[in-house]
């Protein structure tokens, strides 16, 4: 490197947002009873009703549901206390978890609305994501944005000290150039809104992919 060159080390960041392409809906079946049998029977009936909603939509090749899984019904019991501190008789509980993965986002509203009508079924969180191929392609794009950001920063720094050109000496993942790394994973968030008139209306947030690179340049 030219002995008169100035060394510049920068952090480049890139991010972009994309609409989700897949979603996994997490459901929980829960029923209570004074006996194990009285708790288990409603749970098994609810699982049967849910299966009846899932089966017509299930197609491993074309969707809209291409994967779903059911945990076996689990049983437990506990003895609650009343407000006077007295222990009450056993309460039995039956519990099962069902995960339903959709490859077609537009049918989720109707499915969730139908499920919400089943007493004893809790609608849990929604995992929104991209397909594996799409996530890989979009991640490459965001990494390119991060490198471009690093170059632009280095050019500004070089110009500020009267240097007209820069040459890349090293470009690395965070932490490999001796600079502290920060989180760079992509984040996903979504909420479900319910109105009295229309049932569930899903409002998935876009998936944000973030990338960070550390780069070192020589400015001359």
> In a 3-state reduction of DSSP, which class is residue 63?
coil
pLDDT grade, residue 190 (50/70/90)?
very low
What pTM value is reported for the model?
0.75
SS (H, E, C) 71-100: CCCEEEEECCECCCCCECCCEEEEEEEEEE
Q: Return d(Cα 216, Cα 4) in angstroms, integer.
A: 16
Both structure tokens of 95: 């519990």
DSSP state of 6: E
Residues 89-105: pLDDT tens digits? 889 999 999 999 999 99
Higher pLDDT, 79 or 136: 136
pLDDT at 28 over 60: yes
DSSP state of 131: -
On average, the pLDDT of the chain sits at: 87
**113 close to 194: Cβ distance less than 8 angstroms:** no
**215 close to 170: Cβ distance less than 8 angstroms:** yes
Of all residues in the chain, the percent with pLDDT exceeding 90 is 69
Lowest mean pLDDT among 74-88, 100-114, 118-132, 149-163: 74-88
Q: Return d(Cα 18, Cα 129) in angstroms, integer.
A: 10
Angle, in degrees to the nearest 10, between helices 108-116 and 36-54: 160
pLDDT at 110 over 80: yes
pLDDT for the residue 61: 92
């Amino acid at each position: 490197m030219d002995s008169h060159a100035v060394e510049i080390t920068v952090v480049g960041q890139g991010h972009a947002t994309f609409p989700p392409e897949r979603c996994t809906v997490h459901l929980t079946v829960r029923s209570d009873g004074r006996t194990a049998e009285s708790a288990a029977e409603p749970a098994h009936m609810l699982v049967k009703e849910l299966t009846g909603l899932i089966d017509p939509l299930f197609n491993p090749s074309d969707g809209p549901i291409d994967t779903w899984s059911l945990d076996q019904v689990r049983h437990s019991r506990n003895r609650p206390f009343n407000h006077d501190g007295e222990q009450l008789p056993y309460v039995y509980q039956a519990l099962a978890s069902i995960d339903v993965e959709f490859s077609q986002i537009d049918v989720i509203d109707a499915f969730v609305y139908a499920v919400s009508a089943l007493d004893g079924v809790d609608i849990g969180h929604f995992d929104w994501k991209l397909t594996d191929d799409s996530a890989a392609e979009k991640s490459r794009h965001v990494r390119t944005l991060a490198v471009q950001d690093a170059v632009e920063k280095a050019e500004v720094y070089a110009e500020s000290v009267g240097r007209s050109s820069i040459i890349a000496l090293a470009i690395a993942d965070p932490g490999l150039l001796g600079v502290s790394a920060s989180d760079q994973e992509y984040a996903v968030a979504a909420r479900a809104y319910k109105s009295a008139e229309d049932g569930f209306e899903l409002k998935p947030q876009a998936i944000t992919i973030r990338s960070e690179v550390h780069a070192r340049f020589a400015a001359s």
